[in-house]
Amino acid sequence: MSPASEKAFPVSWDQFHRDARALAWRLAGAGPFQAIVCITRGGLVPAAIVCRELEIRVIETVCVASYHEYRTQGATAVLKGISPDLAGVAAGGEGVLIIDDLVDTGKTASIVREMLPKAHFATVYAKPMGRPLVDTFVTEVSQDTWIYFPWDLGLSFQPPISGRPA
């Protein structure tokens, strides 16, 4: 996606916290869940909020890299799989909640879905290409929108939407 064609969606810490809590509200009726599998790195913050709200104590990570240099999506690689202990307890992922910040093209989601096909997959944000792979999400954004998460931002000027200088 080129900078000229993308739509910017900056998300503050307050907004992200509200959206992650909204995700927890939606998930409260979908459980019970015995464990969370958090997709790193983006899923770490929403997983912390959701596990607190739903009182889930077993938290596992799966480490998948798909974005490189923060802006380009490239080859997807599993850097760390799911613990055999969790995989053995939850046959196919039943009773497991998978959490990520965003489903974009669905490449990462597809890989994790294969690992735990019966798990409930939830993201805070969803784009149209990846949306069919998740069971629950809070906000849909267009495919050409770039979400600027609060952990990636500092305080700086944001150009107007029209593209004209302020």
What's the confidence (pLDDT) of residue 39?
96
Given a cut of 90, whether residue 92 has pLDDT beyond it is: no
Give the orientation angle of helix 44-54 with respect to helix 13-28, to 10 degrees: 50
* Cα–Cα distance for residue pair 33/36, rounded to 1 Å: 7
pLDDT digits 0-9 by tens, 115-135:
999 999 999 999 999 999 999
Name the average pLDDT for the chain: 88
Domains of the chain: 9-150 (3.40.50.2020)
pLDDT digits 0-9 by tens, 131-162:
999 999 999 999 999 999 998 887 766 677 77
State the pTM of this model: 0.84
Give every CB contact of residue 146 below 8 A, 6+ residues apart in sequence. 1, 6, 7, 8, 9
What's the confidence (pLDDT) of residue 1?
46
User: DSSP 3-state assignment of 45?
Assistant: helix
In the chain, the percentage of residues whose pLDDT exceeds 70 is: 85
Nearest to 110 by CA among 98, 96, 101: 98
Q: How confident is the model at residue 2 (pLDDT cuts 50, 70, 90)?
A: very low
| Beta strand pairing call for 136-140 and 35-40 | unpaired
pLDDT digits 0-9 by tens, 66-87:
765 555 566 788 889 888 877 6
How many residues belong to the chain?
A: 166
Catalytically active residues are 100-101, 104
What would the mean pLDDT of 40-69 be, rounded to a whole number? 90
